[in-house]
Amino acid sequence: MILYDYILSPSCYKVRLLASLLGAPLDLRPVDFHPGREHKAAELLALNPAGSIPILVDGDLVLTESAAILAYLAAQKGGYWLAGDAPAAIARHQQWLDFSHRLTQALGGARLVEMLHFEGDLAALQTRGVAALRELEAALFVQRLGGQSYLIRDTPSIADIACFPYVALAPDGSIPLDPYPSIRIWMRAIRALPGFIEMPGIHRRHDLAPDPFAEVPS
């Protein structure tokens, strides 16, 4: 499986992250997204006319949507990360996967304008980003009251992985995460998953503040 990848792309990171959580090996093919704009050049446009990454190639199969790529990887590893059979769960899962595109456009868009000089209306992107974060915060708060740590249940699914990266990187687009406590707890849970990997701006989990009453070893 070849992943056309960019180290700073949150959408590519979704795929790298799930592959690592699943223990599935990927062949990475780096794409010069910035400053080279290789994703808009002939070779990659032939693979993906939309001119975006990630692109996953597995034999004859070419996938150009991160949600589809996550589903493909998860299905190959027994489906633990998928929605299961209950109609409501299937639908809610699909709802969050679709919602993740709003995060990509708004939070990801603001990040590209703020950080890498891409064109875009920053204020409008930030407004839509905040609206999406408020919606996510409300949903995760309700989940937490019901004893569920993740978006659709108490164990993680690819919907969590699809939403996590752009949310975690919202500060790159000058959108602070301080007003969203449930989002922060959810992100902490994801960062604690065995096999979690980092990307620049998304750090591994730091320990809590040291115990002030602990004995100092001499």
Give CB contacts under 8 A, 24+ apart, made by 81-87: 81/18, 81/21, 81/22, 81/156, 81/157, 81/158, 81/161, 82/157, 82/158, 83/152, 83/157, 83/159
Give the CA-trace dihedral at 171, 175, 179, 185, to 10 degrees: -40
The pair of three-digit structure tokens given for residue 47, joined into one six-digit string: 């693979």
For 167, the token pair is 């949310």
With beta carbons less than 8 A apart as the criterion, state whether 20 and 77 touch. Answer: no
Q: How far apart are CA 38 and CA 32, in angstroms?
A: 5
* Integer Cα distance of 72 and 148 in angstroms: 25
Q: Give 116 or 192: the residue with its C-beta nearer to another protein.
A: 116
Shortest CB 147 distance to ligand GSH, Å? 31
Q: Which of residues 150-189 bind another protein (CB under 8 A)?
A: 171, 174
Question: Taking CB under 6 A as the rule, which mask of x and - marks residues 10-39 in contact with ligand GSH?
Answer: xx---------------------------x
Tokens of 163: 């939403």
State which of residues 30, 51, 79, 84 lies at the interface with another protein (CB under 8 A). 30
Site string for ligand GSH, 51-80 (x = CB under 6 A): xxxx---------xxx--------------
Determine the Cα–Cα distance for residues 35 and 8; give it in Å rounded to an integer. 12
x/- mask, another protein, residues 187-206, rule CB under 8 A, reads: -------------xx-x---
Q: Which does 39 bind (CB under 5 to 8 A by kind): ligand GSH, another protein, none?
A: ligand GSH
Report the nearest approach of ligand GSH to the CB of residue 165 (Å): 9
- What secondary structure letter does DSSP report for 133? H
Q: In the complex, what is the shortest distance from the CB of residue 98 to another protein, in angstroms, rounded to a whole number?
A: 29
Is residue 157 part of the contact set for ligand GSH (CB under 6 A)? no
Q: Which does 120 bind (CB under 5 to 8 A by kind): ligand GSH, another protein, none?
A: none
Query: What is the binding site for another protein (CB under 8 A)?
Result: 6-8, 30-32, 34-36, 38, 114-117, 171, 174, 200-201, 203
